[in-house]
Amino acid sequence: MGRNLSKADVLLYRVQDRQIAVKDYQARPFLARHTLGRLLVGRECRAYLGAGAVPGLAPFLGRLGPLTMATAWIDAIPLSDLPQGAASREFFDRLD
């Protein structure tokens, strides 16, 4: 579930032998989904298309609608769950 009313839900599905993450604003309040949701899904889709097949980036599977997009799932620890300072400056340089 999204962390608050402006955040998308990230749903995990298994399709055959593959895990797929679906980012979806459909359950958000009308104003959030039709402004912020549409804007952020469009922006993130363009970023994935621009990045191409960058190693370590979840493969982009497509936009499923105006409020929804899908990527392959990568098991990982969210940066927000790491202790402060655990990720090195080199990590962020590579990410950039």
Residue 91 binned pLDDT confidence (cut-offs 50, 70, 90) = confident
The C-alpha atoms of residue 3 and residue 48 are separated, in whole angstroms, by 22
Q: Which helix (H) or strand (E) holds 41?
A: helix 38-51
Work out whether strand 18-24 and strand 68-72 pair parallel, antiparallel, or are unpaired. antiparallel
Distance from first CA to last CA of the chain, Å, rounded?
28
Range 61-80 average pLDDT:
92
pLDDT in tens, 31-55: 999 999 999 999 999 999 999 888 8
Phi and psi dihedrals of 17, rounded to 5? -105, 15
